[in-house]
Structure 1
């Protein structure tokens, strides 16, 4: 399969990403921080690497880093950045007195110096976006919401990206993030061969929300897809103990009991389902 051509970014898109004027972009290019290609009308076309380099240059300038060190840091960044934005995204941050870049689980130092920058780079529907990250605990809830919203946006176009975003929301949130648990588990259960992973998500969520009927219902679906029918029946029953009017639980349990030859249970729960939905 031929390798996909990396997406190029226009000056206008770059301005929007960085929050700067066309004049500032032109100045950064003139300073030699990046060397963008030219389009058919001689307009600048920027790559993913260019975007990250310019964002880093702006942050280093704002931190009053000497120009020589800015150039050194960008030179190292240019050498080490991947050709395309990886699914895991990257993070550029200050670690002690060093600039570090994380690509998935790996990390490398860019240059030593007193630096103030911290941002993550992700992708939404093919567009490079920046998600600022700050270590202050009071900002974690906002960051978690940003990652959750990213997961919602990616859900129809990039399932792997959505999974990563939901997991990031759960990891960052200072409080158990109910919606992220539910949506991540549902996403995994809809994917082939991922119901075991979904079950783990629901089990983790139930440690925080043990009396939530919807989580027990979703866990029952995962058990059923895995062929663990005893566990599925138990989870549907627990759901109904917590919320007797949960119509879908009555329906699913009725169908499960039919498979197991329990006609009495089938009729009881199917009749309950009909009463609740008519």
Structure 2
């Protein structure tokens, strides 16, 4: 299958946005900046502004630190890695790992020491202990399931800052997974449904997912939302009803269906499902 060739454009993000992307506290990020792992610019009111490249480097620093790599080696590795990262970061790119007490970077078929720049032999790859960054060239010999997981993780990171990149990553996860990738289907469909102009695309994703997961209440619920946003109210009602047939305790499905039935002139349906929603949430 062809590789995705689009790239993620550079974009400055705030400290708060970066906290959400990396899942760490403000004090942790401030400490990493103070340690010299990245040098963000200053924006309005002197607030720090981070690039996506900074996010990659900080994610790498956090996970190398968790792998007990010394700060000196982390800073040296990031200094070299920073030069290897383009301003516009490709979705397929670089994998950084801890190899014993050293830091290895894989780009394409090659693996090199992040501090010295020396190429490492293939047999050393087996000694890698844990992936530490979400960008990966996905070598052919690695399992499709692992590749798909990494693309899914990339989508989770990108959805807070770049919708296009997240969509591409989720689609790549679905494409590469040897089994239907439930979470990637759900998150891609929700992502597209949040964009008013992409509800048709979201519906296609949910319909495709339901081929594999026909008895999943969440998928039928999300499909109903997409149909409702498209103005297909009768179809939306059927999808909400199907969701509730599968899971009668799905409170949000009761709530949404109650509102939809009120719009469709069914006051009895409104009361019935609104009462069910209240019972489940009180």
TM-score by shorter chain over 0.5: yes
RMSD: 3.7
1:151 aligns with 2:155: yes
Look up the match of 1:72: none
Q: Aligned-pair distance for 1:160?
A: 1.2
Match for residue 210 of structure 1 among 211, 214, 219: 214
Larger Rg: 1
1:133 aligns with 2:138: yes
Look up the match of 1:51: 84
Look up the match of 2:88: 85
Retained in 2: the 8 A contact 1:9–1:46?
A: no
Deviations 1:207-230 (A, max 9, x none): 100000000000000000010001
The change in CA–CA distance for 1:229 and 1:190 in structure 2 (over 3 A counts) is same
Tell me which moved more, 214-223 or 158-167: 158-167
Q: How many residues end up aligned between the 2 structures? A: 191
With the length of structure 1 as denominator, give the TM-score of the two structures: 0.58
Retained in 1: the 8 A contact 2:189–2:205?
A: yes
Q: Which runs of 4+ in 1 moved over 2 A?
A: 7-10, 45-48, 83-94
- Gapped runs of 5+ residues in structure 2? 1-9, 13-50, 65-71, 95-106, 110-121, 123-132
Look up the match of 1:199: 203
1:255 aligns with 2:259: yes
Q: Choose between structure 1 and 2 for higher RCO, CA contacts under 8 A separated by at least 6 residues.
A: 2
1:171 aligns with 2:175: yes
- Gapped runs of 5+ residues in structure 1? 27-44, 53-82, 95-115, 117-127
1:246 aligns with 2:250: yes
Deviations 1:214-258 (A, max 9, x none): 000000000000100011001001001111111111110000000
Q: Aligned-pair distance for 1:264?
A: 1.1
Retained in 1: the 8 A contact 2:91–2:135?
A: no
The change in CA–CA distance for 1:273 and 1:177 in structure 2 (over 3 A counts) is same
